[in-house]
Every structure is written in structure tokens, then in C-alpha cells.
Chains A and B, each alone.
Chain A
Amino acid sequence: DQQVKQNSPSLSVQEGRISILNCDYTNSMFDYFLWYKKYPAEGPTFLISISSIKDKNEDGRFTVFLNKSAKHLSLHIVPSQPGDSAVYFCAASDHGSGNTGKLIFGQGTTLQVKP
């Protein structure tokens, strides 16, 4: 049962343009969402997060939008840079389960930013 889904395995964007990565979830108990970036041979690096009580969180070039009614979140990167080329993972957490150490990850989307 895939509770967090990233339906686009890959995305290619021109440098300077906007990258939009999407994520859907099925568990309405999720109350915290995160985006991680992963380069080859490295562990995932935290990018940005959002609580379920918000619908937007912005940090520099990165903005995460949350649509609870649609159970959908997206990560916007503006402007995209070649160094942003990596695999991006969406993850979710349910504090109500009593285990805040458990993240549920999507399958990942490979972003390629072309110069």
C-alpha cells in the first residue's frame, strides 16, 4: 500500500525556468510533510517542510504548497539551476501514531536541469 506517491519518475527543465515536483498521499492522518534531495552516493538532504495547518511554506528558491482536500503537495523551484539536478523525495509523517521518527517516502522524481 503506497501511502505517498510521486507519479512522475523524471522531469527535465531548462535552467532559469520553474521546476514543479508533485506528490500525492492517501493517509489523511499525515500532519507533516517534507521534501528531501538526494545526489548519487550521498544520503537524502532535507530541503523544506510544511505542517498540515499551513498551505504554503517558502524558503529562498523553494516553495512547498499543500492542498489537504486533494491530498496533494508540490515543490516549486524558481529559478531552477543545474546544481538542482538530483532525485527528489516527498515524505510524510503522522504524529498521532506516536512515532515521530517514522517517515513514509514516495518513490522519488529525478530532476534534470539543463544549462
Chain B
Amino acid sequence: DAGVTQSPTHLIKTRGQHVTLRCSPISGHKSVSWYQQVLGQGPQFIFQYYEKEERGRGNFPDRFSARQFPNYSSELNVNALLLGDSALYLCASSLTHPILRSYNEQFFGPGTRLTVL
């Protein structure tokens, strides 16, 4: 079975531009979460989507937005890019239901390396 896939693998943009990152979850997983990992730090939570609805949001500005499609794939959009947005963007999928008090491990994709010049 295919794991979580992300595209593109690498991306170079300039300040002020817009970027769209894509993620396909593991088949059967309905939850997708996005994380940002800057060099030397652990991943930081950006969004969680479940059944096409936003279920959680981290401490990121409104320039960051996301959506989930009927096939459970997801896009992360970042507007007005800043140099500080340069990072590895990770997508994770899980069977997690955001309300039921049960937990399922999150499975991460390889990430998209974004460089903002």
C-alpha cells in the first residue's frame, strides 16, 4: 500500500509569491494534518482536516490556509510568502476521529522543502 504522498518534493519561490502544496493520505484515512518544520526544530502543527472540515488550527497567520477534498487529499496554501516561511512542510494522515476519545498514530509523508528567496 502506498504511504502518504506529497508534491512537489522541492520548491523555490520569491518573497510575496503564493504557493500550493499537495498531499494524498493513506487509503482509508480521513484525517490530514499539516506541519511546518524549520531547521533544528520539531514539526509545528498548522492545520487538521477531517471529513473536509477544519478541525484544528495552530498558531499561524491567516496567510496560511488549507482545504480537504472529497477524496480526502488536501492542499496547503501560503500567500504573500516571507523568508521565514522557508521550511519543510509535512503532511500526516491518520484514522483519528477528532471527537472520539481514541487515538491513532499519524503517518507522515516525505515533506515538501520550500525555499523562499
Contact = CB atoms under 8 A, between A and B. Distances in A.
Say whether A associates with B.
Answer: yes
The main secondary structure of chain B at its interface with chain A is: loop
A41 B43 CA distance: 14
A75 interface: no
Given A103-B33, A107-B41, 7 more contacts: A32-B103, A46-B106, A49-B103, A101-B45, A101-B55, A103-B45, A108-B40
B103 A100 contact: yes
B90 A43 contact: yes
A95 to B, nearest CB: 5
Interface residues of B, number: 33
B43 A105 contact: yes
A41 B101 CA distance: 33
A98 interface: yes
* Among A36, A101, A103: residue with most chain B CB under 10 A: A101
Contact of B48 (A6, A42, A89, A102): A102
Interface in A78-101: 89, 91, 93, 95, 98-101
Interface of B: 4, 31, 33, 35, 40-45, 48, 50, 55-56, 58, 90, 92, 94, 96-103, 105-111
Chain A: number of interface residues, binned into ranges:
20 to 34
A102 B42 contact: no
A102 B60 CA distance: 14
4 tightest Cβ-Cβ pairs between the two chains A and B:
A105-B42, A101-B48, A43-B108, A99-B56
